[in-house]
Structure formats: structure tokens, C-alpha cells
Amino acid sequence: MNPGTGEATLYEEVVDITHEYLGPAADRFITRQIRSHLHKNPEELKKRDLKNLIDWIGLAMSILSEDEELVHKYIASLNGLAAKNGRRHE
């Protein structure tokens, strides 16, 4: 939660979406992706990072899951998050 606005941080929103697909592993999975590929702490995630992050998440998920449709749905949800909210989290 962003202490200034009381709104969910971008990281929390990404984890929320991921939770539906990876359950309790979501937090760790996303944290590792952010640290490895963006070299940032999760709370520093910005909207401009999402495109790169989603590319890597998509690759990892394509190997982790047999269900291609599920992976597409998950990536589409993340792309939806990247597209929404105008300048929020920028």
C-alpha cells in the first residue's frame, strides 16, 4: 500500500493478478523477476518497467505452465494493467 495515497502499489497490483495463476508463490516469483531483470526493489516498480517485466514473465510462464491459454490470459491481464490508469505509477 502506498502510504501517501492509500492506494495499492504497482507491485501489489502485479502480485494480485499473478496470485490467481501462481497462488502463494506469486509474491516470490514477481519479486525475483523484478530484482533479476530490473535490478530494483519491488516497491520501486514503475509503469515504464512493465513492458520489459511482462516479456520475462511471459517466457518463464511459457515453460512453467503447460496451459498455453492460461498463460495468454495471464499475460493479457498484465498488459491490461500496463495500459490502464493513465499516468498512475509513472
Partner 1 sequence: MVEDTNKYTYDESYIETLFASVGVGLIATDSSGDINFINDAALDMFGWSRNAAIRERYTNVIRPVHEDGTPFDSVDRPIVQAYMAGQSITARMMFKRKDDSLLPAVETVSPIMVHGRPTGAIAAFRDISQEIEADRMKSDFISLASHQLRTPLSSINIYAQLLDEGRAGGMNAQQKLFIRTILSSTKRMNELINTLLNITRIEAGNITIDIHEVRLDKLVRDVLSESKPSIAEKNLKLRRNIEPRLQPISTDDLLVREVFVNLLTNAIKYTPDGGDIIVGLKTTKYSYMLSVSDTGYGIPRTAQKRIFTKFFRASNILTQDASGTGLGLYLAKMIAENLGGDVWFESIQNKGSTFYFSLPKHGSIARNSNFRLEV
Residues 23-82 touching partner 1, rule: CB under 8 A, are: 32-33, 35-37, 39, 52, 55-56, 58-60, 62-64, 66, 68, 71
Closer to partner 1 at the Cβ: 6 or 63?
Answer: 63
By residue count, the chain amounts to: 90
Closest CA to 37 of 24, 49, 25: 49
Closer to partner 1 at the Cβ: 64 or 83?
Answer: 64
CA-to-CA dists, residue 22 to 16, 74, 87, angstroms = 10, 10, 28
Closer to partner 1 at the Cβ: 34 or 81?
Answer: 34
